[in-house]
Amino acid sequence: MMKHSNGLTFNRRDFVRLSAAAATSALAAPPLAFCADAVPQPMTRRFGKIDFHVTTFGLGGQASIQWTPSDVDPVAIITKAFDLGVNYFDTSNAYGPSQLNFGKAFKHLNLIPGRPGYDSHRRESIFLTSKSMVRWAVGGYPELPNVRNFTHGGHGEGAVADLKRSLSQMFGNDDGTYPEGAYVDLFLIHNLTTLEEVDVVYKGLETPLDGDDGIGALAALRDYRDGSNHTGLNPDHEKLVRHLGFSGHHDAPVMMDMIQRDRWDLLDAVLVSINVNDRLYQNMQYNVLPLAQAKNMAVIAMKVFADGAMYTKEARWSQDESDVVRSVGSPAIPSKPLIEYVLTTPGVHTLIIGIGEIDDQSSRCQLVQNVRAAQIAPDALDTAHRRNLESLGRKAKDGATNWFQQPDIGLTPPRNVRIEKLENSIRLSWDTPYAGDEPLDKYEIIRDDQLLDTRAHRPQTSKTPFRYDTEPVGNA
């Protein structure tokens, strides 16, 4: 039993209750690869609040689409994914030539507005995401501590320039122009890592637009979503993006803060790291995902193979083509169960995986094998089965794969506990704790060693704290 100095007491064993299923059957060794030639029509899931049914496998824009080995054709990877029925495609302004490679593929697929043969129905059938790692709307921004701004576009420019660069590279001629009718379905603020970055992103929404504080990315991107010009940065009232969101894989509390501060319901989607080793770190599945679910956000999972660290790559950022993994899993750690784990994590709608190479023989083709492995229902695995799959992750570098994720700090106490004496009652308020390796379950309200009440935990969807009112001590 732990007691906060302000009087809120909780029991760690009761505060977080394990909801494991009763299944205890042994887990059969999964096959290394599927050998049948046929590829099924991909399964889809409703994409949160977005009116789209997304395939459970999405094509990531890194691996050989970014770092291309001399004997690999990145355009062939993209067009093969399309031919297999994949409808979710991901890239970024931080992925080198990735957007240009998508542009080449889109020409083959007749997805370029204004070109002969443009197929608008085909364009509507896919969901295209790009990103910007610039936190400010436009250039001329100050360099602030703990705020990173990076793009492979014009350094010193803002997120609006990155959005237009995405359209120019994928639908235009990479000269800054883009055809009328070009758009991305989703534009993400890329790789949020610090609270200071979240502060910048919300400038112009939480702060006056006419102030000297600058304009963050989100306020301007809203204009380019809605065709408005509240920021003065969209004078032509263009509509270049349909949905907004963000990505992150480092710090769950930062991602939660980003969601909780969205009073305008601007964030439709989140791209978040999830893999079988997630619970060994400050995890996303019990912190970020319940909050995203509560706000009906579309959830895209990434880092399924820890950017290759589950296999041959060192546990660090990829740097060049030598880091690209080109095999299908390994005998010790097959790729299929790692994919199944992610897609049975509550709240996940799809995942993205970068492809090292494709092959005419399906058993050697990463793309075919990953698409097949992704054909799984969200409730197909019970808790016991998922725990068994986590043992696979610990075989990889003794679980030290997720270098991109904060270390585990365990279950924290409720935060910012406050006691306020009102006219006829005492108000206890607090902010959500952070979950450890089990989901949050309930709060026990205790006074003078007596249990007053039990409250089920629910995700804290805003910055408004939880509250509990009780009679003053003298009236007890």
Question: Are 249 and 407 a contacting pair, CB within 8 Å?
Answer: no
Backbone angles phi, psi at 341, to 5 degrees: -60, -50
Does pLDDT of 471 surpass 90? no
CA dist., res. 38 & res. 368, Å (int): 9
Mean local confidence (pLDDT), 422-451? 95
Q: What is the mean pLDDT of the chain?
A: 92
CA 372, 349, 315: angle at the middle one, nearest 5?
A: 75
Alpha helices in 172-273 (DSSP H): 195-201, 217-226, 252-260
Q: What is the pLDDT of residue 92?
A: 99
Per the structure block, which two tokens stand in for 368? Answer: 């075919």
Q: What is the DSSP letter of 293?
A: H
pLDDT band at 83; cut points 50, 70, 90: very high
CA dist., res. 27 & res. 388, Å (int): 7
Q: What is the pLDDT of residue 474?
A: 57
Give the 3-state secondary structure of residue 403. Answer: coil
Buried b or exposed e, range 157-179, using 16+ CB within 10 angstroms: bbbbbbbbbbbbbbbbeeeeebe
Question: Are 184 and 130 a contacting pair, CB within 8 Å?
Answer: yes
State the DSSP H helix or E strand holding residue 470, giving kind and residue range, or none if neither. Answer: strand 466-470
pLDDT top residue among 172 and 3: 172
Does pLDDT of 2 surpass 50? no
CA 43, 44, 50: angle at the middle one, nearest 5?
A: 175
Does pLDDT of 1 surpass 70? no
Which range has the worst mean pLDDT, 14-23, 137-146, 262-271? 14-23
CA dist., res. 159 & res. 244, Å (int): 12
Q: What is the pLDDT of residue 39?
A: 74
- Could you tell me how many residues make up the chain? 476
Q: Quick one: which of 160, 272, 261 has its CA closest to 216?
A: 160
350-371 pLDDT per residue, tens? 999 999 999 999 999 999 999 9
CA dist., res. 343 & res. 275, Å (int): 10
The bridge status of strand 426-431 relative to strand 466-470 is antiparallel
pLDDT band at 233; cut points 50, 70, 90: very high
Domains of the chain (ranges, CATH numbers): 2-16+411-475 (no CATH), 44-399 (3.20.20.100)
Q: What is the pLDDT of residue 229?
A: 98
Does pLDDT of 3 surpass 70? no
Q: Quick one: which of 119, 128, 35, 131 has its CA closest to 81?
A: 128
CA dist., res. 453 & res. 444, Å (int): 6
In percent, the amount of the chain with pLDDT more than 90 equals 88
Per the structure block, which two tokens stand in for 81? Answer: 């994914």
